[in-house]
Amino acid sequence: MFVAVCCGVSRCSPMSLICHESVRNGDHFQRWAEKRLRGSVQEVSKSFELRHSDALGVHAVARSAISAGDLIIAEDALLRILPLKDAARRLLERFGDLEGFLQPALGVDWGSTDKEVREAALELFYAHPITERRSQESAHITACEELLQMWPPLRATGWSPAQLLRFLHIVDLNIHKDERPSHAEFTGIFVLGSKFSHSCEPNASWSFDQRGRLQYGAIRPIAAGEVLTFSYVGNGMNLITSTLVRRQRLATLCFICRCERCKGPDLARPLPCPRCRGECLPCYPDQDESGFGIHGSRCDAIEDAVLWRCTGCEAQVPASELPLQAEAELAELVPQVMQAPPDSASEDAEKLSKLRVKAAKALGPGHWACFLATFAWLQKCLVCLRNEPVITFSEAELHAASVEVARWLEVVTPKNVEQRLCALFMAARLARQLGGGVRSWGYDPECPLGEELQAATRTELRGWELKEDCVVGPEVPQANFKRLKSLPSGPPFLSRWV
């Protein structure tokens, strides 16, 4: 029976349909898949399996091809981590900075968990090896001892302080949490959902359904054998940044990303070559996680390139000869202005217009900060077009900027579907305001975004439609728009700059 499902693609563990034989405790995963997955495990395992590799640990892989928009898995939580009631919150106040880290210890309704669930919580999830360095964690162990003494339901688990600490580290790295208050009760840890890896060009994304079940869907076509991924740092413009900035963000989660985009050249960060008119790209040092401490700022442990290489004259250029100070300033300023609420759109469009010029001059038009300034400028202009009787920019400028954005995304991050769709939708809205159809705003609706767009409309961007030469979306009432921090009727990820 096992062979019938898996034949020709990979070898299952004898005890487990859902796991490749490389996974050590396949039977254990199988048991929880049977308990928590929606649908039969046999059905799910036609397109989904867990494997183990040295580079990624246990990770989810597509066993067969998956179409964009398809549901990959739907899973109930192993255990939920609920918002704290007042008594628990007061109790945690005494722990100062540790409060947030300790919160899950009191957020679980321990009385409703059995021994099997608690064992699975400690055994089936990833905890970074550095969290085993107990000597660095005496304050944490003491806090766990105190919590176990003070909170009888927690004490009833029978866990030692070290086991509780391991659980807290596990939650830290594996939690699925949707920041919307209406979804606060859905927060939890999920056995199979926790095995999706991170990628800076992900092929899947997750959401909770109305009952709080975790569901992963494909956001682009996925080939058999591909690692299943989502973005651990949100799907907004975080993924547009340089490899360095992404590494710094991911360092808070204790790992250095080894996705295909991070292994390749950092195309989002070209800087002008001081020797010729070409562009230099950074040569990052090979780095692993050994420099990370358990707590504190791990971002500081991330090393920037000392040498850069020009793609034109091939010179090796020391970092000291490049405009890194200007880069740091723009990398901070542009997202700040982009994030400002829409009621200052007109002033912000002015600011961004200046920042675009500054970034193009100091860093060159290919740098992500320059791209983002252009993208954000288009957003603000769209808001102005909708709301203001007089505008200070020309239609030709908007067209040119939209085409720039489309080309940049196509060349630098062709697989970042959500970001490309986001830009495409902005073009569609501009086209609706000013005419011309998306083609004249930089997008050919048939190729290659057409397919992605259709997939996205099937999943989270419901209501959008691809017409012959334009994209049309649902109108959002003006009242909603005033409450939104970002663009009206945009996909939700637009407002998530973390």
Ligand X SMILES: C[S@@+](CC[C@H](N)C(=O)[O-])C[C@H]1O[C@@H](n2cnc3c(N)ncnc32)[C@H](O)[C@@H]1O
Residues that bind ligand X (CB under 6 A): 56-59, 126, 128, 173-174, 194-195, 197-199, 253-255, 257-259
Cβ 226 to ligand X shortest distance, Å = 13
Nearest distance from residue 53's CB to ligand X, in Å? 9
Rounded to a whole number of angstroms, the minimum distance from the CB of residue 261 to ligand X is: 9
Q: Which is nearer to ligand X, 152 or 293 (CB)?
A: 293
Q: How far is the CB of 144 from ligand X (least distance, A)?
A: 22
Give least dist CB 289 to ligand X, A: 8
With respect to ligand X, which residue has the nearer C-beta, 284 or 425? 284
Is there a contact between 63 and 49 (Cβ–Cβ < 8 Å)?
yes
For residues 201 and 279, which CB has a smaller minimum distance to ligand X in the complex?
A: 201
Q: Which of these, 244, 243, 240, 231, lies nearest to 202 by C-alpha position?
A: 231
Nearer CB in complex with ligand X: 263/277: 263
CB of 273 to ligand X, least distance (A): 30
- The least CB distance from residue 114 to ligand X, in Å, is 22
Nearer to ligand X, 36 or 198 (CB): 198
Shortest Å distance, C-beta 257 to ligand X: 4
- Written in H, E and C, the secondary structure of the chain is CHHHHHCCCCCEECCEEEEECCCCCHHHHHHHHHHHECCCHHHHCCCEEEEEECCCEEEEEECCCECCCCEEEEECCCEECCCCCHHHHHHHHCCHHHHHHHHHHHHCCHHHCCHHHHHHHHHCCCCCHHHHCHHHHHHHHHHHHHHHHHCHHHHCCCCCHHHHHHHHHHHHHHCECCCCHHHHHHCEECCCHHHCEECCCCCEEEEECCCCCEEEEECCCECCCCECEECCCCCCHHHHCCHHHHHHHHHCCCCCCCCHHHHCCCCCCCEECCCCCCEEEEECCCCCHHHCCCCCCCHHHCCCCCEEEECCCCCEEEHHHCCHHHHHHHHHHHHHHHHCCHHHHHHHHHHHHHHHHHHHHHCCCCCHHHHHHHHHHHHHHHHHHHHCCCCCCCHHHHHHHHHHHHHHHHHHCCCCHHHHHHHHHHHHHHHHHHCCCHHHHCCCCCCCHHHHHHHHHHCCCCCCEECCCCEECCCCCHHHHHHCCCCCCCCHHHHCCC
- Closer Cβ to ligand X, 110 or 255, answer by number: 255
Cα distance between residue 87 and residue 67, in whole Å: 48
Cα maximum dimension of the chain: 70
Least distance from C-beta 132 to ligand X, angstroms? 14
Shortest Cβ distance from residue 50 to ligand X (Å)? 9
Which CB atom, from 29 or from 186, has the smaller least distance to ligand X? 29
Gap between the Cα atoms of 187 and 131, Å rounded:
23
Tokens read off for 29: 């995963």
CB nearer to ligand X: pick between 121 and 259: 259
Our CB check for ligand X shows the closer of 191 and 405 to be 191
Angle at 93 between CA 89 and CA 98, to 5 degrees: 105
Per the listing, tokens 């048991």 go with 31
d(CA 306, CA 224): 38
Nearest distance in Å: CB 113, ligand X: 20
Helix axes 161-174, 138-150, angle to 10 degrees: 110
Q: Cβ of residue 256: shortest distance to ligand X, in angstroms?
A: 7
Q: Which is nearer to ligand X, 197 or 416 (CB)?
A: 197
Q: Which is nearer to ligand X, 288 or 468 (CB)?
A: 288
Q: How far apart are CA 496 and CA 419, in angstroms?
A: 12
At position 9, the amino acid (one-letter code) is V
* Nearest residue to the partner ligand X, using Cβ: 57
**For residues 20 and 195, which CB has a smaller minimum distance to ligand X in the complex?**
195
- Report in angstroms how near the CB of residue 192 gets to ligand X at its nearest: 10
